[in-house]
Amino acid sequence: MGDETTALLEIRKLSKSFPGVRALEEVDFTVRRGEVHALMGENGAGKSTLIKVLTGVHGRDGGTVRLDGVEIHAHSPKEAEAAGISTVYQEVNLIPYLSVAENICLGRQPTRLGLIRWGAMAERARAALARVDLKIDVSQPLSSYSIAVQQLVAIARALDISAKLLILDEPTSSLDEKEVAELFKVIRKLRAAGMGVVIVTHFLEQVYSISDRITVLRDGKLVGEYETSKLPRMELVSKMIGRALAQMQKVEAEAKQAQVEEKRELLLELRQFGRPGWVAPLDMSIAKGEVVGLAGLLGSGRTETARLIFGVDHAKNGEMRLSEKRVLFKSPREAIREGFAFTPENRKVEGIIPHLSVRENIVLALQAKQGVTRTLSRKQQIDIAEEFIKLLGISTTGPEQPVVNLSGGNQQKVLLARWLVMQPRLLILDEPTRGIDVGAKAEIEKLIQSLRAKGMAILFISSELEEVVRGCQKVIVLRDRAKAGELAGDQITEEAIMQTIAGHPHGT
C-alpha cells in the first residue's frame, strides 16, 4: 500500500477556468508513493482538465502542485516530463511510422559527436521494455504492433524518462480482457517499485481490481477521497452521479412493463449474416416496437454488426430480410432509403458536421434522402430544427449555432434529431450515451422507450450493462466477433449477460 508519511503528489486548491465555465474549483488531490490511484467522475467533472494542468498543457488560475515536496509549475509537456510526471494517453500519442526503439528514446537518443548511436539506442529501448515485461523487435515500426503493445511502449518511454508519477488516461478503452490483465500486471509491478500511478477511467470493475484509493470529482469540485476496499460500489456510483439515480429507476420500470406485451411484428431478420474477419455468421431478429440490445466487450463485433446492417461495410455471408423481403445494402444511402438510421459510436469522426449549424446538421440526412433538387425551404428547416431542439431539450443558442460549440451530450442529441426526423423503421444506436452526463443519459433512455412505444424497432449497442438490462426486451450477446448467446425478458440481468460473454457457468 502507499507510504503514509510523504505524499508523492500533493495538489492543493487547484483552480482553472475557461471562458464561461469553471472547470476546476479548489480541488485537492493526493497520490502516495507505491499507490495506484483512480481518478473518477462523469463527463465535465474536471478529470481531464486536472490532468492537462498537471502535464503542462493548460496553465492554472490558482493552487499549488508539489511533487516530492518540491513545488512545480509545468508550462509544457516537456517541463512536466522533466519534473517527473509522464502521461500515457488513450490514443497512445507516439509516432506510428518510427520504430519502437525510437519512440522510446526520441529526444534522449544516445549520441557520439552529435550523431545518434542506433545500437546503443536499441539496447536502451530493450532495457526499458524489460521493465514492463515486454520483449519485442524494437526495430519494427510502432504501427505494426497492437494498441495494447503500443501502450506498453508508451509506458516504457515514461519509465525511461525516470518518471516518478505515471498518469494513465483511459488506458483500457481499446484493450480486450487479456490485454487488460497484462497491463494491470505491469501496473502492479510499477506500484511495487514505488511509483505513483494515477489511472483515469470509468470502468467500475477495473477500478476495484487495480486501484488502492479513489478520488471522485463532480462539476469541477472534489467530492471525496476514499480507500477502494472500504467503498461499496453503489456508494461510489451515487457519489459520481448523485441525483439522477431516481430517474433511472423509473425508466427501468417502464422497460419491464413493455416486456409484458408479447405479440410483435417482425421487422428485420438476419440469417447467418456476417463477413469474414468482421463478424461470424449470426442470426438475429428485431420486431417493431422492440428494443434489442447488442452486448459484449470492446472488440466483440457489435459496431461491426451495426455497420454491416447499415451498409457501411458489405456483408459476405448470409442474408438480411426486411419484412420478409430480402435486401442487401451497398451503402448507407440504400439503408436510409429503406428506413434505417444509425448514430455511430465515434460522433466526432462519423457523426457531426462540426462547422455546420445545428439546423443543417439536423436536416442533413433528410435532405440527402430527398436529393439535390428537392430542397427543404429555409423556413421548413428552421421549423424542424426548433421542433427537435425543444423535443430533445438541446442546449444551444439557436438553430444557427455551429455544432462544434455544443457540449458532447448536446451534439449527441443533435445527431439523434437528425435520425428522428427521418422517422426510421429501424434505429441503430451505437453507444448513444457514451461521454454523456447522467442527466442527459436518463433523458435519452426515456426517449428510446417512448419511440419503442410508438412502434420503432431499435438496436441498442452499449458497453454499460445496466443500461442494456434496463432498456431492452431482448439482448444478443457477442464475444470475439461471434454470437455467444441470446437472452429475453426476465433472463436479462447483468450477471447473465456477463456469464454469456464469459462463456462459462456462474461462479467459475
Q: State yes or no: residue 437 binds another protein (CB under 8 A).
A: no
Q: x/- string (CB under 8 A) for another protein, residues 179-208?
A: x--x--------------------------
Least distance to another protein, CB of residue 507, Å: 30
302 vs 287: CA distance, rounded Å? 19
**Pair 172, 203: CB distance under 8 Å:** yes
62/354 with CB nearer another protein: 354
Least distance to another protein, CB of residue 65, Å: 18
Residue among 138, 131, 190, 141 at smallest CA distance from 166: 190
Residue from the set 170, 350, 387, 494 that interacts with another protein by CB under 8 A: 350
- Judging by DSSP bridges, how do beta strands 196-200 and 165-169 pair with one another? parallel
Beta-strand ranges (E) seen in 359-456 are 426-430
132/438 with CB nearer another protein: 132
Residue among 154, 150, 160 at smallest CA distance from 108: 160
Phi, psi of 377 (to 5 degrees): -70, 160
Q: State yes or no: residue 356 binds another protein (CB under 8 A).
A: yes
216/416 with CB nearer another protein: 416
Q: State yes or no: residue 339 binds another protein (CB under 8 A).
A: no
Least distance to another protein, CB of residue 451, Å: 19
Q: State yes or no: residue 461 binds another protein (CB under 8 A).
A: no
Residues 6+ apart with CB under 8 A from 279: 273, 301, 304, 305, 308, 478, 481, 482
Phi, psi of 437 (to 5 degrees): -70, 160
430 vs 300: CA distance, rounded Å? 13
Residues of this chain, 66-105, that bind another protein according to CB under 8 A: 76-78, 81, 87, 89, 92-98, 102
Residues of this chain, 118-157, that bind another protein according to CB under 8 A: 134-136, 140-141, 143-146, 148-149, 152, 157
Residue from the set 201, 300, 396, 500 that interacts with another protein by CB under 8 A: 396
Least distance to another protein, CB of residue 231, Å: 32
Least distance to another protein, CB of residue 212, Å: 26
Return the DSSP state at 146. -
Residue from the set 19, 69, 277, 507 that interacts with another protein by CB under 8 A: 277
Least distance to another protein, CB of residue 258, Å: 29
275 vs 270: CA distance, rounded Å? 13
Least distance to another protein, CB of residue 488, Å: 30
Q: State yes or no: residue 20 binds another protein (CB under 8 A).
A: no
Query: Among the candidate windows 219-227, 280-288, 318-326, 372-380, which touches another protein by CB under 8 A?
Result: 372-380
**Pair 157, 107: CB distance under 8 Å:** no
Phi, psi of 281 (to 5 degrees): -55, 130
354 vs 404: CA distance, rounded Å? 5
**Pair 118, 170: CB distance under 8 Å:** no
- In the numeric block, the cell 490558482 is attached to 62
Q: State yes or no: residue 365 binds another protein (CB under 8 A).
A: yes
398/503 with CB nearer another protein: 398
Residue from the set 4, 349, 454, 490 that interacts with another protein by CB under 8 A: 349
- Start-end of H helices in 245-291: 245-260
- In the numeric block, the cell 498537471 is attached to 54
Q: What is the DSSP string of 375-402?
A: PPPHHHHHHHHHHHHHHHT---S-TTSB
Residue from the set 70, 115, 192, 260 that interacts with another protein by CB under 8 A: 115
Q: State yes or no: residue 369 binds another protein (CB under 8 A).
A: yes
Q: State yes or no: residue 253 binds another protein (CB under 8 A).
A: no
Q: State yes or no: residue 400 binds another protein (CB under 8 A).
A: yes
81/443 with CB nearer another protein: 81
